[in-house]
Structure 1
Amino acid sequence: MDMTFKGAARRLDDLDLPKLGALIGVGEDEIHAFIDVETTGHGFDALGRPIILFEPHVFFRNLSGAKRAQAVAAGLAYQRWGQTPYPRDSYPRLKAACAIDETAALKSASWGLGQVLGENHIAAGYSTVQAMVEAMKADEELQLLASVNFIKTNRLADKLRNHDWAGFARGYNGAGYRKNAYDTKLADAFRKWSRIKDTPWPQAAPPAPSVPIQPPKPATPPDASQRLPTPAAKQGFWAALFAILKAIFRRK
């Protein structure tokens, strides 16, 4: 893993929000509210790295034995959330944690617009946490897609669609969501975005109605008059027969 954590750092475009929201049946306002509360609407920091939050208590549970003891001694891991204040920049701690165990360290940070925890890479659509981090470095659309996948996997789409802010907050952020008023912030952000005109979302055109294929009509059988020989055909027949008989008599 490149320890600069820099990639293409592509930003969202106008259609990404309604397009990705449609995957879980919600509108642009719900998606805006969600990412506003998670990361104030930005997926990359001033250096072009994904916004992250390194969680020492998650690092603790992803380690064991000598590695855990080393991380605890370095102040990078502890057993319970909130034991010490978090620094403004999580990257120095993440890099130090990677030196102990890269996979455990990457799993212990929340990434991008939706702050998907690395531990949840499978639910986010990635077979490894390293693959998820590469996507986080590349594009805010991929960051948001990881969140949408997580929401789908954990059956939270209905709660977001129905504006059950407390239910969504509990499912996405855990039982301690009230400490940060996550549900209230979601409701406030949604009200704000509801007053702002959405980006038009060009839905796919409905399929053209199918036109039944008509079977070919059977050929019309000839009527009786068509089956009878014509006068010209009769004349030709007798002329040919006369010529044959004339030739026979000449040989005699």
Structure 2
Amino acid sequence: MSELNLASSVGIGGENQTDDVLAVQKALNTLQNKIGLDAPLAEDGHIDSDESESSTCLAIILMQRKIAGFKNPDGLISCNGMTHKALKKALVESAPTLSFFLPKITPEKGLKEEDFEQASQLLSCDVAAIKAVSEVESSGSGYFENDAPCILFEAHQFSKYSDHRFDESDPDISSPKWDRSLYVGGEKEYQRLYKAMQLDRIAALKSASYGRYQIMGFNHEAAGYDDVESFVRDMFFAESYHLIAFVHFIKSNSRLLEAIQSLDWPTFARYYNGPGYAENRYDEKLQAAYDKHNTD
């Protein structure tokens, strides 16, 4: 996990609401080796009546010493207090998204108006059309809060590219058919990708969509890259690379190119999002986003 949102204090003298305690237990287990926790905490949302002897409270004290640097830890995590902030920072830094591809870097986020204009010239389409795809695909941002590119891991693609070898052993990341229930969303998708990479790195990288325009890894050649590793690497560096990849990808497909030029959103949706686009009203969302940006 890489997020820790609390509604109340947790630990010695805390309010210790079940959901908050559970979130803290999960976070501390994620950092088990870093804080020197001998065994994982029971993730039950419960703190013993004798708080000073509670395993969760003792783990909080360990974390305060090892991570927050407290000389006199009090075993309490207050909402948005120093311990909470230190724990959140440690979770982000320990997240596999920032270590299994590259050393931690700060990407160049955002796109300038001239970036969109240049792309529109290369595609001979309206600037508002490109902005519409930007908005619908990733809510206008290519990165999560932890500076890793937005992704969505597709279990049915991993099953395909790994020759179905892991369908039985790892059904949460390898499925013969598309299954919406397997998504976990947001930064947590990297946990699924990381697990798949331990089984078959290349198949895993090909099986996720990346960045502002959510281009699938298996489309790396259409996006202008000889191999999927190079494609994924650039998605970590800058959002401008996301746009360049998008331009290459659209130009590689005549149906997509004609559709974005003519503002034929149903056709664009079909070839960009898949035949089930209508179920998610993808074409309608594109039309609405285009109408909004066309009046800016």
- Please indicate, yes or no, whether the TM-score normalized by the shorter chain is above 0.5: yes
2:216 matches 1:151: no
- How many matched pairs? 193
Q: Deviations over 1:184-224 (max 9, x none)?
A: 0000001101110xxxxxxxxxxxxxxxxxxxxxxxxxxxx
Question: Structure 1 residue 157: deviation in Å?
Answer: 1.6
- What is the match of residue 79 of structure 1? 176
Counterpart of 1:119, as a letter, is F
Structure-2 separation of matches of 1:147 and 1:83: 25
1:10 to 96, 108, 115: 108
Question: Structure 1 residue 98: deviation in Å?
Answer: 0.5
- What is the match of residue 121 of structure 1? 220
Which structure would you say has the larger RCO, counting Cα contacts within 8 Å and 6 or more residues apart? 1
Question: Structure 1 residue 2: deviation in Å?
Answer: 4.5
Question: Structure 1 residue 83: deviation in Å?
Answer: 5.4
- What is the match of residue 163 of structure 2? 64
**Runs of 4+ off more than 6 Å:** none
Structure-2 separation of matches of 1:167 and 1:14: 26
1:175 to 262, 271, 275: 275
2:119 to 20, 30, 42: 20
Q: Deviations over 1:5-30 (max 9, x none)?
A: 65441122231111112110112211
Structure-2 separation of matches of 1:25 and 1:36: 20
- What is the match of residue 216 of structure 1? none
Counterpart of 2:270, as a letter, is R
Matched-pair contact (CA < 8 Å) for 1:51–1:112: yes
Matched-pair contact (CA < 8 Å) for 2:101–2:233: no
The two structures, once aligned, show a CA RMSD in angstroms of 1.7
Counterpart of 2:178, as a letter, is W
Structure-2 separation of matches of 1:109 and 1:61: 12
Normalising by the residue count of structure 2, what TM-score does the alignment of the two structures yield?
Answer: 0.62
1:110 to 209, 212, 232: 209
1:185 to 272, 281, 285: 285
Structure-2 separation of matches of 1:92 and 1:72: 19
Distance 1:83 1:48, change over 3 A: closer
Matched-pair contact (CA < 8 Å) for 1:7–1:49: no
Question: Structure 1 residue 76: deviation in Å?
Answer: 1.2
2:257 matches 1:161: no
Counterpart of 2:220, as a letter, is H
Counterpart of 2:173, as a letter, is L
Structure-1 separation of matches of 2:180 and 2:236: 29
Structure-2 separation of matches of 1:85 and 1:98: 17
Structure-1 separation of matches of 2:180 and 2:117: 39
Distance 1:72 1:121, change over 3 A: farther
Question: Structure 1 residue 52: deviation in Å?
Answer: 0.2
Structure-2 separation of matches of 1:46 and 1:190: 26
- What is the match of residue 195 of structure 1? 295
Distance 1:125 1:2, change over 3 A: farther
